[in-house]
Amino acid sequence: MSPTRRLFLGSLAAAGWSPMPVIGAPVPVLLARDARPDMDPRGWLVSEKLDGVRALWDGERLRFRSGRAITAPAWFTAALPQVPLDGELWGGRGRFEQLSGTVRREQPSDDAWREVRYQVFDLPEASGPFLRRAALLRHIVQQAAWPALEAVEQFELPDAAALRHRLAAVVREGGEGLMLHRADALRVAGRSDALVKLKPVQDAEAVVEAHEPGQGRHAGRLGALRVRAPDGRRFLLGTGFSDAQRERPPLPGSVVTYTYRGVTESGLPRFASFLRVREDG
């Protein structure tokens, strides 16, 4: 390690950084709750919600949040700083399927990975409020000086009207929605009110328990997935699948993401629709 790099890492340690523990184990990450449509964004940092694959960098390797290794080309990881990072591998708006195929390959394609950017939004082992961590993260990215490594833009908005206007603009341009992170929040793991997501539709995750057979034109293939939410609720996902997904549906035990619009009186998601299989499920 060069003297310059050693000095740089020393300055991060003084700011609260320490090495990420336990390689190969699930990584405790911050997960978002749903935002109220009328929430006041003052006191929050706002960013675009990226349709990518969550990726944790521990200074040596990239991992899914499950702890499973992501097989990236050596030239991609060699350009990353020796500092733990939390972010998403991203291929651009509307390109999730292509990105998913790229990051799941056991033999990475150099050409495909050259289309991937690592959009980082937090420092897993840094102390202090998010406002401070975001500033430190921008400094780390600037020091790395590599175009494929970007700090997600964080901005402030004055009121709920400005938040709605920004959400509409992002969605109109093909984005998913917005993320809001409390500026004064310390680093925590798990689902927390410190981080919320604002989208035209809500999304959540559930575990596949069984396949329901199709009828009519879907006879002989998947009709619906019987799934279980983390709180124990069970329901069916019968829409959102391509013909190929109905032919080869997610296996029982898989974790899937679905979209919905509010909940019914019985607490089940309304208009639930399959979105995708979670990449590290």
**Hunting for tokens 């299989």 — which residue is that?**
277
Residues contacting 189, CB < 8 A, separation 6+: 28, 29, 30
Phi, psi of 203 (to 5 degrees): -140, 160
Question: Which one from 35, 49, 89, 180 is the annotated catalytic residue?
Answer: 49
Active site residue 49: yes
Helix (H) or strand (E) run with residue 121 in it? strand 117-122
Yes or no: say if 214 and 223 are a contact pair by the CB < 8 Å rule: yes
250 within 8 A of 237, measured Cβ to Cβ: no
Which of 222, 199, 195 shows the shortest CA–CA distance to 211?
222
Question: Nearest CA to 272 among 219, 215, 177, 204?
Answer: 204
Active-site positions read 49
